[in-house]
Structure formats: C-alpha cells, structure tokens
A and B are shown apart, each in its own frame.
Chain A
Amino acid sequence: MKATLNAYKVIATVVGCLLIVLVVIGVPLEFLSSEGSGAKSAGNFLTEYVGIAHGWLYMVYLVTTFVLSRRARWDVGFTIVTLICGTIPFASFWAELRAIRHTQAEHPELVSA
C-alpha cells in the first residue's frame, strides 16, 4: 500500500500542477490576448498540449486514486470527494493532503519514512 500511496502523491501533484497551468495560464492567454499575438499562440499551445496531457493523466489519477481507496478502505463519500477535487484548480492540493493524512491516520504503519 505504501507504493500505491506514493504513486497517488506523484500523480495527484502532477495533475494538480498541469490543471493550474491549463486553467490559470493557458486559458486566459488564449482568450484574453489579441488575435495573432505571441501570447495568443502560447495560449493555444498550452491549451492544446497541456489539455491533452492533463486529460490522460487525469485518467491515470482516477485509477490510481480508486486503487488506493480500496486498499486503504476509504468510504464511498471520501473517495468521491477526492476524485472530484482532482478537477478543481488548487482544491486538488487540499484534497491530496487530506487524502494522505486520512490514509496515514487509518494506517499508522505508513507514516514511517
């Protein structure tokens, strides 16, 4: 389960960061900058490729989180909140911390570094 928890930490952090790049940087650049400007094309690039990467990594996040939820015996509500928070910028980091603490509280043997 330790490996699963570590995998969860990595994928949740990566997905959370990509989501912020996408929503906080890419989308405003694409839609707020003027046509033909460098900012516009940078925004296009970000939403295109970061969008694709985020979409697929979110799928990996879903599966990893689900596997962890079963191994750590999370209840249904906790699992669903954690999965959904992965789609909300910044909230994903809160959910990640919450999930790690919850898992370590229930399974103290995981805390040892």
Chain B
Amino acid sequence: MSTAPRASALRPWSPRLWGAHAAMVVVVAAAIALGLWQYSVSHQHKVDQVAKLAHATPRPLTDVMGGNDAFPGDHVGRPVVVTGTWLGDGTVFVSGHSHAGRKGYWVATPMKVDGTGTPGSAIYVVRGWTADPATAPAAPTGTARLVGWLEPGQQDDAVGDGSTGSASGGGGSATVVPDLDMAALIDQVHTDLFSAYVVGADHQSDWPADAMPVNDGSQGLADVAAPALPKADATTGLRNFLYAIEWWLFAVFGFYVWWRYVRDVTRPAPPADAEGTPEGDPQEQPVPSDA
C-alpha cells in the first residue's frame, strides 16, 4: 500500500483505479461463495450423520429402555427391535397427520413387549397411515417382531382437534385421538405403557428392517416418516461451519483493504506542513524512536 498522498489525488472513478475496484469485487464475491460452499459442506455432514444414526443397527427395545423408565433423551429416533404380542383392541387413529397432501390418520396399535415381566408393559406401534379409519385394515393379532424408530410420547398440549372421540366406520367405531399421549392412552390398554412409541420403519433392502418383520401390521397402510430424527453431534461439521465464517470475515477484510486503499489514493494532498499522517500511525511520524 503506497499510501503517501499524491500531489494530484485520483478520483474514485479514475480508470487507474478500475483494476483495484475489479479486484475487490472478485475477491469479495469469491470469499462469499467459498463461505457458502463451506456452509453447505458443514450442513451435509450433519445430514449424513443423522441418516447414519437413523439407519444404525437396531437394538432390542428393552436394551434401550425399560417399561417404567423415563424416555432416554439421547435415543430419539433410534432404530429398535420390538418383539411382543399385538393388543389389537387398543388400536387408535391419531388425527391430524397428512400423507402426500391428503389428510388422514396414523394407525397405532399397542404391543405387549416380551421380557417386561407379568403383567408386562405395552408400547404403541405406529403401523402406518390411512386416509379413513373405516377402510383401514384390521389390527394384526398374534406375535410379531419388527423394527421401528423410538420416539418420545407426545404431550397433550391442548392443541389439536380435541379429546378422544370416535369415528363410525363400516365395521364399527374406531377410537380417534389427537396425539399419542401415554397418560391418556392408558385407558385403551389396561396395562402399563412405555413412555415412548415406535414408528414402524420402512423396508429397505440394505437394512435389517427388510428381513425382520413378520406380521408387522403395515400391510394396507402407507409408510410414516419418523417425526423426530436422531440429533447430530454439535461438533459434526463444526470445522466447515467455522471455515464458512472465516471466508465471510475474509470478504469483509478484502472490502476493508480496498476501502482504505481507495481512500488514501483519492485524498487530496495535504498542506506541506501537515505532512500527511495516514490513519493507523498518527504518532509514529514525528519521532523515529518509539522503540
């Protein structure tokens, strides 16, 4: 930066400064773009990790939590294997869930989980989605072993379309609930409930959910996506996120350098006795020894 004021100051739009202007635009634009790129890399790392966690090897439900345990917060969205016996009478239809743009219901049936003792505990399994409870397939019976995503029980936070009701269908009446609130659902099953529910996993050929389910009750129902996904670690993608911020700071720096340069070369020459003191070192000019 040759900052010595000149006898004839340049105008900011002087052709001799066009190169500096163009360089600034290129540097700032490039730094912003590189920051955006690093930001997307950081985001992708998080998305990849979530996908990996959601399709981790499923663990038996009873290894992850017991029937009377509070929901283990770090297992939201974890794939679990549930083995037990269907309690078809407890089937409920959870209102307010859309699928492919259509309004409809989750179909959830409790299952008494093996290995929880006598009388044991049950967990609600979201078997799928249906547009109309009247045409939903009958609840499965017998025993089953299936893979699903573990989700914390929903709290009835006084929204939704009201309390438990019933919808009349061809084969009788179906129980409609606004959400999977275990405290309210206990009336449906007459047994202890896990403070959690499971969303039946979609079948993917490269994942245990494909080979496992027998009698998983999903026939005739549309797949439901897990409402809450596992959380990525806070540090995942952190480096790239910080790189993004650095690139944006660099853009500011490039702009600042350009601004100082243009200001210096366009400043009118000061009177001879003032001996221009560019900003930044006002007190260094007069005395050489500040050592």
Contact = CB atoms under 8 A, between A and B. Distances in A.
Interface in A74-113: 74-76, 79, 107, 109-110, 112
Interface of A: 1-2, 47-48, 51-52, 55-56, 58-59, 62-63, 66-67, 69-71, 73-76, 79, 107, 109-110, 112
A69 B257 CA distance: 11
28 contacts: A1-B281, A1-B284, A2-B291, A48-B238, A51-B239, A51-B243, A55-B239, A55-B242, A55-B246, A56-B242, A56-B246, A58-B246, A63-B253, A66-B253, A66-B257, A69-B1, A70-B1, A73-B1, A73-B3, A75-B1, A75-B2, A76-B1, A76-B2, A76-B261, A79-B1, A109-B288, A109-B290, A110-B291
Interface of B: 1-4, 238-239, 242-243, 246, 249-250, 253, 257, 260-261, 278, 280-281, 284, 288-291
B253 A74 contact: no
Contacts of A58: 246
Nearest to B242: A52
Contacts of A59: 246, 249-250, 253
A62 B31 CA distance: 14
Contacts of B238: 48, 52
A110 B291 CA distance: 6
B291 to A, nearest CB: 5
A107 B243 CA distance: 36
Contacts of A69: 1
Contact of A62 (B253, B290, B291): B253
A71 B291 contact: no
Please give me the 4 A-B residue pairs with the lowest Cβ-Cβ distance, nearest first: A71-B281, A109-B288, A70-B280, A2-B291
B86 to A, nearest CB: 42
